[in-house]
Amino acid sequence: MQIQYAERIRTLPPYLFAAIDQMKREALAKGADLIDLSIGDPDIPTPKHIVEAMKKAVENPEHHRYPSYEGMLSYRQAVARWYKRRFNVELDPEKEVLSLIGSKEGIGHIPLAFIDPGDIVLVPSPGYPVYPVGTKFAGGIPYFMPLKEENYFLPDLKSIPKDICKKAKLMFINYPNNPTSADATSDFYREVIDFANKYNIIVCHDAAYSEVYYEERPLSFMEIEGAKDVGIEFHSLSKTYNMTGWRIGYAVGNREILAGLGKVKTNLDSGVFQAIQEASIVALDTDDSILKDIRDTFKDRRDILYDGLRSRGFEVRKPNATFYLWVKVPRGTNSIDFVGKLLKEAEVLCTPGVGFGEHGEGYIRFALTQSKERIKEAVERIGRLSL
């Protein structure tokens, strides 16, 4: 029997993090003492009281049946409480909050609700690979918005051709940003809202890293007047509470947009296991002191890696948010070759910027997902290289 993949699969590039995982396996198989600073999977365990809540909830037989598609009302109410406490944003938990099987799932599915074949989606580059992939699965065409250092890694909306603006149906933005770690300002969000209103474009803001910050609290898109009229915001418990493996998140905002996403989900998934939702309620109602401990841990690691790379001549900006450092590669090389050099000669693994899109070339991304001691060791190894 001859197996032939669908066109939508054949035209996809290899998923960035799967390719990195293969590089990691090959290095470990050769006995490398690998320091993996590539993938944003926190090494800090989920806070104990959340785990205990999960243990209790999983014993409840009521949770062993199919969950509701939109999420338990009690979970959506916890999300609304969190948004009110965190951002002073009022949300109707019944109509303006939708549970997700992690924010990646919602981001991947949202184009299916609004994009017809040939429609244009505005996508940041560099950016999370799921934005263009979800677009292509829906038959849409990604139009890449360059994120350039001279523009503080914000898309220049004025530079997008008018004919593209008129054809665009959806726009993805992501702040604090992965991979560049940039923040967005209220002025930028207001510009986005005006732009969306002018061209009737749905805004999808990915706010997965809003709670991993150090000096200043990042803004929510939903804090800005008019945001709820034009878009939704995705969030996840993965980074906030170190719950990447739990696969739970949510989208909030415009009720009509959420209803469209919900219609896709009711046909493609069966909701989040209710025991996980119960534990997530406990997480969302957690006192902020636990988050401070997590932030302090990442801040210490950030400072070690930032100071170490700067002292060795690398050009790198100090991030206020996310647990990533976006670093320029030395002149005369490219991001893939330099990642290979670090892996081969220093046994340090990071992510090539070009894997996040064409405009990520010239950079590499380090994730702060190893202990301070291992990050110090990584800096020392890199410092011994001939660059």
Q: How far is CA 310 from CA 52, 202, 298, 303, 325, in A?
A: 42, 40, 18, 10, 11
**β-pair type (231-236, 249-253):** antiparallel
Give the confidence band of 376 by pLDDT, cuts at 50, 70, 90.
Answer: very high
Sequence ranges of the domains in the chain: 7-45+289-383, 59-284
Architecture, CATH, for domain 59-284: 3-Layer(aba) Sandwich (3.40)
> Tokens standing for 115?
């994009």
pLDDT at 21: 77
Q: How far is CA 214 from CA 42, 46, 106, 285, 330, in A?
A: 16, 20, 27, 21, 28
pLDDT above 90 for 69: no
Give the confidence band of 200 by pLDDT, cuts at 50, 70, 90.
Answer: very high
pLDDT at 23: 79
pLDDT at 326: 98
Give the confidence band of 380 by pLDDT, cuts at 50, 70, 90.
Answer: very high
pLDDT above 90 for 242: yes
pLDDT in tens, 176-186: 999 999 999 99
pLDDT above 90 for 215: yes
* Alpha-carbon span 139 to 226, nearest angstrom: 29
pLDDT in tens, 310-333: 999 999 999 999 999 999 999 999
Give the confidence band of 147 by pLDDT, cuts at 50, 70, 90.
Answer: very high
Give the confidence band of 286 by pLDDT, cuts at 50, 70, 90.
Answer: very high
Q: How far is CA 252 from CA 70, 203, 231, 337, in A?
A: 12, 12, 9, 40
* Alpha-carbon span 320 to 172, nearest angstrom: 21
Q: How far is CA 55 from CA 49, 239, 284, 376, in A?
A: 10, 21, 17, 36
- Check: CB of residue 265 under 8 Å from CB of residue 69: yes
- Check: CB of residue 277 under 8 Å from CB of residue 289: no
- Check: CB of residue 174 under 8 Å from CB of residue 128: yes
pLDDT above 90 for 372: yes
pLDDT in tens, 82-136: 999 999 999 999 999 999 999 999 999 999 999 999 999 999 999 999 999 999 9
pLDDT above 80 for 13: no
pLDDT at 90: 98
Tell me the average pLDDT of the chain. 95
CATH T-level fold of 7-45+289-383: Aspartate Aminotransferase, domain 1 (3.90.1150)
pLDDT above 80 for 76: yes
CA 132 to chain centre: 14
